[in-house]
Amino acid sequence: MTETTTHTTGPENGNGQLSLSTDAARQLSTTTKTPPQMQEITSRWLLRLLPWVQCSGGVFRVNRRLTYTLGDGRITFTNTGSEVRVIPAELTELPMLRGFDDQEVLEALADRFTQREVAADQDIVTEGSPGDRLVLIAHGRVRKTSHGAYGDEQHLGTLADGDYLGEQALVDGGEFAFSARAKTATTVLSLSRQDFEQIAEQSPALRDHVERWRSSSDRAHNDYGEAAIDMASGHTGEPVLPGTFVDYEQSPREYELSVAQTVLRVHSRVSDLYNQPMSQLDQQLRLTIEALRERQEHELINNSGFGLLHNADFSQRIRTRSGPPTPDDLDDLLATVWKEPAFFLAHPQAIAAFGRECSKLGVYPQSSEVSGHRVPAWRGVPIFPCNKIPISGTRTTSFLLMRTGQEKQGVVGLHQTGIPDEYQPSLSVRFMNINEKAVVSYLVSAYYSCAVLVPDALGILEDVEIGRNG
């Protein structure tokens, strides 16, 4: 028998291509495109949630009742190696020295402070001890406590860098009504009452300033430091009713609209020829405006003039009890903005840290639905993420809580609509020119600011640790 061998030629033998390749086919196809994507774009909850007030004149004035409780800020220090010294001018952050400008006396006071290192769990002052000194906290964390009516220990708050205690002791003496214990290794500076009185004896200006402060502090005022409105109630017969009036601040705070601007450049050839299926100018404008709005939210939080982090009243700033954000800390924050709180604002990592603390305690917060979005909430108040809230090098950040709306004396955003060449509310796109290289320029401007109408509309939980392991 003779075997027959068949030889096959062509693509069927596996050595050639059976059909048109996809690479070649793509030369005849039309691709499906997305608009340009941009990772910088966020939800910008603050811009969406703030009520915006029309600021027609470019300036917004906040009129308030006259307030006497001024000067409870924080104090800054300098250090050379391990030696710490208070900056003399910073002593005017103390209530009794607010507005005092004699630099020689302030230098003399700063020189009288003595430095002390306090170990963790060591008392700095004890309840009932003589109030004979002012204590400045240069570095560390200190817990204030007192004994309640039934002898149990009550938490009065946490102090840290820049805080102070015992300021009333310099002028009134008496005893400390609380204990202060270091939670970490702490550096404190102390000024004795004796040293203060010696300097006051040598400085008539200081004595007069303290007396004026005493007299203003003795004036009748309500719990918020505002001048009291005298009235009578619960009386019978025909007593003489008190007369009164409501005094206003003589120099109310004014907010000027801020601006974020850039010049967008597009070559005329690009805008003429490459507009299908999407307009090049429209896409360039869209992404530029998104970046401007991101900057706008950043400024509303971080700007040193009007940003929320810098404009919260010092009496509305609290610190965490142990470092990470716990349910107790958010309850304390709610106690600072207890009149119709609208929402919390926190960095996403801070919200995650709060979730971890809740899980440790077996607490499962409810969520809240806002505009079709499910967001975490605490005590029914939604917690919105905002990556514009900074995280420090030591992995600490802040929680913000605010009441919003002008009718509620809350936090409001400021803008001006109806401006020339308006593209979006309070944002304009203005044609500038075409240069000799055929590049078209557009000026893109966004105008904005924000205002805290009364101090208790905004509260901040500071020094929130987000990196602590469980």
Q: What is the pLDDT of residues 376-418, one digit of tens each?
A: 999 999 999 999 999 998 899 999 999 999 999 999 999 999 9
Amino acid at residue number 5: T
Strands (E), 70-171: 77-80, 83-86, 114-118, 123-125, 133-139, 142-147, 153-159, 164-165
Residue 218, pLDDT > 60, answer: no
Domain 77-218, what fold? Jelly Rolls (2.60.120)
Q: List the structure tokens of 188.
A: 């404190």
Torsion angles phi and psi, residue 300, rounded to 5: -60, -25
Phi-psi region of 173 (alpha: psi -120 to 50; beta: other; left: phi over 0): left
- Report the C-alpha gap between 280 and 73 in whole angstroms: 51
Integer Cα distance of 418 and 428 in angstroms: 9
- The model carries a pTM of 0.79
- What gap in Å lies between CA 114 and CA 190, rounded to an integer? 5
Contact 389, 346 (CB under 8 A): yes
Q: DSSP 3-state assignment of 112?
A: helix
Q: What type of residue sits at position 333?
A: L
For residue 249, give the 3-state DSSP assignment: coil
In angstroms, rounded to a whole number, what is the distance separating the alpha carbons of residues 394 and 141? 14
The amino acid present at 433, given as its one-letter code, is N
What φ, ψ does residue 404 adopt, rounded to 5°? -125, 155
- Domain positions in the chain are 49-56+254-465, 77-218
411-415 and 52-54 strand pairing: parallel
Q: Which of the four pLDDT bands, split at 50, 70 and 90, describes residue 11? A: low
> According to the 3-state scheme, what is the secondary structure of the chain?
CCCCCCCCCCHHHCCCCCCCCHHHHHHHCCCCCCCCCCCCCCCCHHHHHCCEEECCCCEEEECCECECCCCCCCCCEEEECCEEEECHHHHHHCHHHCCCCCHHHHHHHHHHCEEEEECCCCEEECCCCECCEEEEEEECCEEEEEECCCCCEEEEEEECCCCEECCCHHHHCCECCCEEEECCCEEEEEEEHHHHHHHHHHCHHHHHHHHHHHHHHHCCECCCCEECCCCCCCCCCCCCCCCCCCCECCCCEEEECEEEEEEEEEEHHHHHHCCCCCCHHHHHHHHHHHHHHHHHHHHHHHCCCCCHHHHCCHHHEEECCCCCCCHHHHHHHHHHCCCCCCEEEECHHHHHHHHHHHHHHCCCCCEEEECCEEEEEECCEEEEECCCCCCCCCCEEEEEEECECHHHCCEEEEECCCCCCEEECCEEEEEEEECCCCEEEEEEEEEEEEEECCHHHEEEEEEEECCCCC
Q: Residue 151 pLDDT more than 90?
A: no
Give the chain's mean pLDDT: 88
Render pLDDT for 53-100 as a digit per residue (tens, 0 to 9). 999 989 999 998 876 554 557 888 887 777 888 998 888 888 888 888
Residue 43 carries which DSSP code? -
- pLDDT of res. 231: 82
pLDDT in tens, 236-289: 888 888 877 787 778 888 999 999 999 999 999 999 999 988 999 999 999 999
Number of residues that this document lists for the chain: 470
pLDDT per residue over 299-317, tens digit each?
999 998 999 999 888 889 8
- Spell out the residues 6+ positions from residue 183 whose beta carbon is closer than 8 angstroms to its own: 120, 121, 140, 141, 142, 143, 158
